[in-house]
Amino acid sequence: MPQSELSGCKKRKRGERVFRFKIFGENGYPVEFEGSFKQNIKALLEYGHFDSNTGNGIPSWSFQLEVNRQPPLHIWLFVVEEPIEASLQLHCKHCQYIGWGHHMICNKKYHFVLPSKDTVSSLLNCEGEFNGEISCKDTLNLVQLQGHVMHGVFHSNGFGHLLCINGMEAGSNLAGRQIMEFWDRLCTGLRARKVSLNDDSQKRSMELRLLFGVAYGEPWFGRWGYRFGRGCFGVTQPMYQKAVETIQGMPLCILVHYLGTSNPHIPAIFSRYQILSDRSLVTLGELFRFMLEIKTRLPEGTGCSSDSGKAFETTCRWSPKRIEMATRVIVEALKRAEFRWVSRQEVRDAARAYIGDTGLLDFVLKSLGNHVVGNYLVRRCLNPVTKVLEYCLEDVSNLFPDQNGGGAMMMGNSKVKPRSYKMTRPQLMKDMLNLYRYVLKDQQPAINMGILAALPAAVRIILDCKYLVKECNGDLPWRGVGVGNEPEPKLKLCCTVTLRSSNTTSIDAAVTHSRHGQHGGMINMNKTTSQQLLPFECITLKNDATIDDLKLQAEKNFRELYWGLRSFVVESIANLQDHANGKDTVAGVLEVGRVIVLEGSIDQENGSLSSKEGIYERDPDDRIIDCPCGTKDDDGQRMLSCDICEVWQHTRCVRIPNSQQIPPIFLCNRCENEIIILPSLP
């Protein structure tokens, strides 16, 4: 933020501060993000309008953001700090679904909310003006309400979840892309560790994770770095990748062969976009990608045109009359081939009986590829087996009805003269929706024949991969984190803790994949491993700090972060030399940047912390999940339990549709088989 503008903000009253939406969250606007997530969010909230009306320990802040100056458009960003004492749900279901159930429950959550216009209207005061202040009741309602323009939440350890975004189709003044760019700036600026989301985004009833997966090999959120996080119904990342590659590489000629007879829309759509493309569209992935690329260049209410005649307007040594004659001869030669694919050499040899100039023939053959001549589309592609260019004619006379007011095709006077073609945005969206329905979604009988039999399974796998994760700054928080502007030197150490169990000392095996290779070697610990480590935290100490100082500072940091560690006491350092004692300086026995594993225990006198299972994000319910699909943990999908063994399974995996209610009595296959083989009772 420019210094003059920043000074101006400081001079204004808090309720009058206005920030620019397009750069809010960038480093320096409104604050320099130099520390850890906990430090950065504290610095950001200092520039917000603090709500003095909030009670019950639920503070909130508001920021007024300017989207446009002309016409004027302002929106509100609310940040609600939710302490664990006021939380309606102790455990985070989003952490559990994404696979972070081993994380400890944090003391605080920070909700970032861009409310909808209806929500802001409901918060208006009696004078009809909203100044950014909300009451305690409104604060709770704001977090629980649905339909926000954006709602994201961060745990105080830097892990977060994007809960929803609603763009213009949902009535927002902001496009989905603008909202995501805003959220991404917040995550990057605050130095969040990892952020997850549940990808349910749709565009005109099309699932974007399927549409963009086929076109680009990644979901719509992939442009902001979100990748496969966890699959539902036992789907793994290799399965997801294979499914995407299967649909992307599906040849269009195969689809036309199997589906073209029963559905004439499919070959019409293929030909329509082959005309627009300056290269051959061979696979389904190439076609979807080309259609989406056209859409990005096609504003509302305009058209995209393709003038095939441009290929013949290039300055060359042949007159237009000679080019037209050579074109007519080549098209007639292809007609005699009865719409089958013929090699370039075969077409050239047939045309040489009438045109002796081989240079002219070569020029026209090169220019004709994938262009319309008269009522025919001259298709050209490379044979994948023989690696030879081949040509074929396709009759397109009935594919583009004449629409004088912005139609798709304008016929030339000559039967041979190439003609122009104009694509409108409504036509593009209609074609995309039809292609999505006919090929990807509708389970037609022909779709289960031949090579197409793999399509339905691949589509289902992609749709089952909804949980995405972006690694913003990773598990190691010291990368890029400063230690302040103090003149006194500081030590920076990366620490984590593990709790001593009643029967054995537990050091988690997760230390083996904590990227220690970046720091010169592995941590060597000869102890039983049975518990996962907490996310690493950066501890800053004075240059002359002792081991005892390190323990005290670590206790303070982890107690402030985690609800289950409020009575945590550090007892030892697992990977420290045995001869070191508490009075030794940290600089003398530990190198800067080293990963430190602190062992300790919790005060068992605190009744709420007597069960360690109750302090983790995972559901403390002891229910057993063992589904035929391979799922062992709750993935957020509908489940039911067997009335005998009480093992939970997906309703879909036991062939109970989501539209059908769960039966009052259910027996899994195992229990059902055991009942069958039991001897009859007397």
Tell me the C-alpha distance between 249 and 626, whole Å.
Answer: 34
Tell me the C-alpha distance between 458 and 246, whole Å.
Answer: 7
Exposed/middle/buried for residue 83 (C-beta within 10 Å: 0-12, 13-18, 19+): middle
CA-to-CA separations, 324 to 350, 420, 593, in angstroms, rounded: 17, 16, 74
The Cβ of residue 250 has, within 10 Å, a number of other Cβ atoms equal to: 22
Least confident stretch, 63-67, 107-111, 303-307: 303-307
Instruction: Output 53 or 33, whichever has higher pLDDT.
Output: 33
Q: Is the pLDDT of residue 14 over 70?
A: no
Which CATH code of 3.40.640.10, 3.30.40.10, 3.10.28.10, 3.40.630.30 fits the domain covering 621-682?
A: 3.30.40.10
Question: What kind and span of H or E run contains 303?
Answer: strand 303-307
Question: What kind and span of H or E run contains 82?
Answer: strand 73-83
Region for residue 620 given its phi and psi (left: phi exceeds 0; alpha: psi -120 to 50; beta: otherwise): alpha
Q: Are the C-beta atoms of 344 and 390 separated by less than 8 Å?
A: yes
pLDDT at 575: 72
State the DSSP string of 505-565: ----GGGGGS-GGGGTS-----S---SPPPPPEEEEEETT-BHHHHHHHHHHHHHHHBGGG
What confidence tens digit (pLDDT) does each residue in 309-320 have? 444 544 567 888
pLDDT at 315: 55
Mean pLDDT, the chain, as a whole number? 80
Q: Are the C-beta atoms of 428 and 301 separated by less than 8 Å?
A: no
Tell me the C-alpha distance between 598 and 554, whole Å.
Answer: 8
Supply 336's token pair.
Answer: 């005699």
* All residues at 6 or more sequence positions from 129 whose CB lies less than 8 Å from its CB, including other chains: none
Nearest to 278 by CA among 307, 248, 247: 307
Tell me the C-alpha distance between 632 and 145, whole Å.
Answer: 32
Alpha helices in 57-174 (DSSP H): 93-98, 117-122, 136-144
Q: Is the pLDDT of residue 265 over 50?
A: yes
Instruction: Output 59 or 181, whichever has higher pLDDT.
Output: 181
348-369: average pLDDT? 86
pLDDT at 593: 63
Q: Is the pLDDT of residue 396 over 90?
A: no
The Cβ of residue 225 has, within 10 Å, a number of other Cβ atoms equal to: 16
Q: Is the pLDDT of residue 125 over 50?
A: yes
Which of the four pLDDT bands, split at 50, 70 and 90, describes residue 190? very high
Task: Detail the DSSP E strand segments found in 348-419.
Answer: 371-373, 376-382, 389-395, 409-410
Tell me the C-alpha distance between 459 and 379, whole Å.
Answer: 29
> Residues in the chain, how many?
682
Which of the four pLDDT bands, split at 50, 70 and 90, describes residue 266? confident
333-362: average pLDDT? 87
351-362: average pLDDT? 88
Task: Detail the DSSP E strand segments found in 279-358.
Answer: 303-307, 342-343
Q: Which long-range contacts (CB under 8 A, 24 or more apart) does 446-453 make?
A: 446/258, 446/259, 446/262, 447/258, 447/259, 449/258, 450/254, 450/258, 451/250, 451/254, 452/250, 452/254, 452/255, 452/258, 452/259
Nearest to 185 by CA among 77, 24, 68: 24
Tell me the C-alpha distance between 564 and 91, whole Å.
Answer: 12
588-617: average pLDDT? 71
pLDDT at 54: 54
Q: 86: which DSSP letter?
A: G
pLDDT at 82: 92
Q: Are the C-beta atoms of 310 and 373 separated by less than 8 Å?
A: no
* All residues at 6 or more sequence positions from 663 whose CB lies less than 8 Å from its CB, including other chains: 656
CA-to-CA separations, 241 to 139, 223, 226, 236, 637, in angstroms, rounded: 42, 17, 15, 9, 22
> Which of the given ranges, 186-195, 347-356, 449-458, 476-485, has the highest pLDDT on average?
186-195
The Cβ of residue 336 has, within 10 Å, a number of other Cβ atoms equal to: 9
Q: Is the pLDDT of residue 56 over 70?
A: no
What confidence tens digit (pLDDT) does each residue in 585-601 have? 888 887 766 788 899 88
pLDDT at 449: 67
Partners of 328 in the beta sheet? none
455-471: average pLDDT? 95
Tell me the C-alpha distance between 356 and 368, whole Å.
Answer: 18
Tell me the C-alpha distance between 65 and 18, whole Å.
Answer: 6
Which of the four pLDDT bands, split at 50, 70 and 90, describes residue 519? very low
147-153: average pLDDT? 95
Least confident stretch, 37-41, 174-178, 480-484, 523-527: 523-527
What confidence tens digit (pLDDT) does each residue in 523-577 have? 333 333 335 678 888 888 888 889 999 999 999 999 999 999 999 999 888 877 6
Q: Is the pLDDT of residue 507 over 70?
A: no
Where exactly are the structural domains of the chain? 3-199, 252-456, 490-606, 621-682
Supply 562's token pair.
Answer: 């985690």
Tell me the C-alpha distance between 42 and 46, whole Å.
Answer: 7
Tell me the C-alpha distance between 192 and 349, whole Å.
Answer: 66
The Cβ of residue 500 has, within 10 Å, a number of other Cβ atoms equal to: 15
Supply 456's token pair.
Answer: 């339905």
CA-to-CA separations, 403 to 276, 302, 406, in angstroms, rounded: 18, 14, 6
Q: Are the C-beta atoms of 175 and 168 separated by less than 8 Å?
A: yes
pLDDT at 239: 96
155-170: average pLDDT? 93
> Which of the given ranges, 600-604, 620-624, 673-677, has the highest pLDDT on average?
673-677
**Helices and strands in the chain, H and E counts:** 19, 26
**Percentage of the chain with pLDDT > 90?**
38
> Which of the given ranges, 303-312, 360-369, 484-493, has the highest pLDDT on average?
360-369
Q: Which amino acid is at 324?
A: E
